[in-house]
């Protein structure tokens, strides 16, 4: 009977040590993951802060492109009129 008790206690100790080992491993992995997420969040904040001035630049660029588009449309219409004039028979 005493041998059975000793074997039971040894088995219990092995189970407890194994569970503790796995829990410590999980805690270490969670810590590493938390550190990585913290670094990622810091990087994203830096990206947000560094790109904030671009908002006004993109708006200015968009305004310039709209003006360029209007001028290109006028050129297109002018070239269309030239093409029509050249296509007419001369006689």
**Chain segment 23-64, per-residue pLDDT in tens:** 999 999 999 999 999 999 999 999 999 998 888 888 889 999
Percent of the chain with pLDDT over 90: 69
Cα dihedral 15, 21, 27, 32, rounded to 10, equals -150
Assess whether pLDDT exceeds 80 at residue 72: yes
Assess whether pLDDT exceeds 90 at residue 4: yes
Assess whether pLDDT exceeds 80 at residue 91: no
How high is the pLDDT of residue 46? 96
pTM for this predicted structure: 0.54
Q: Where are the domains of the chain?
A: 1-52, 55-91
Tell me the DSSP string of the chain: -HHHHHHHHHHHHHHHHHHHHHHHHHHHHHHHHHHHHHHHHHHHHHHHHHHTTHHHHHHHHHHHHHHHHHHHHHHHHHHHHHHHHHHSPP-
């Amino acid at each position: 009977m005493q041998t059975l008790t000793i074997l039971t206690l040894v088995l219990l100790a092995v189970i407890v040590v194994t569970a503790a080992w796995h829990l410590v491993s999980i805690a270490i992995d969670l810590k590493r993951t938390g550190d990585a997420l913290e670094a990622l969040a810091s990087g994203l904040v830096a990206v947000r802060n560094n790109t904030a001035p671009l908002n006004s630049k993109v708006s200015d660029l968009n305004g310039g492109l709209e003006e360029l588009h209007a001028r290109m449309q006028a050129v297109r219409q002018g070239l269309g009129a030239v093409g029509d004039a050249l296509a007419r028979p001369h006689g």
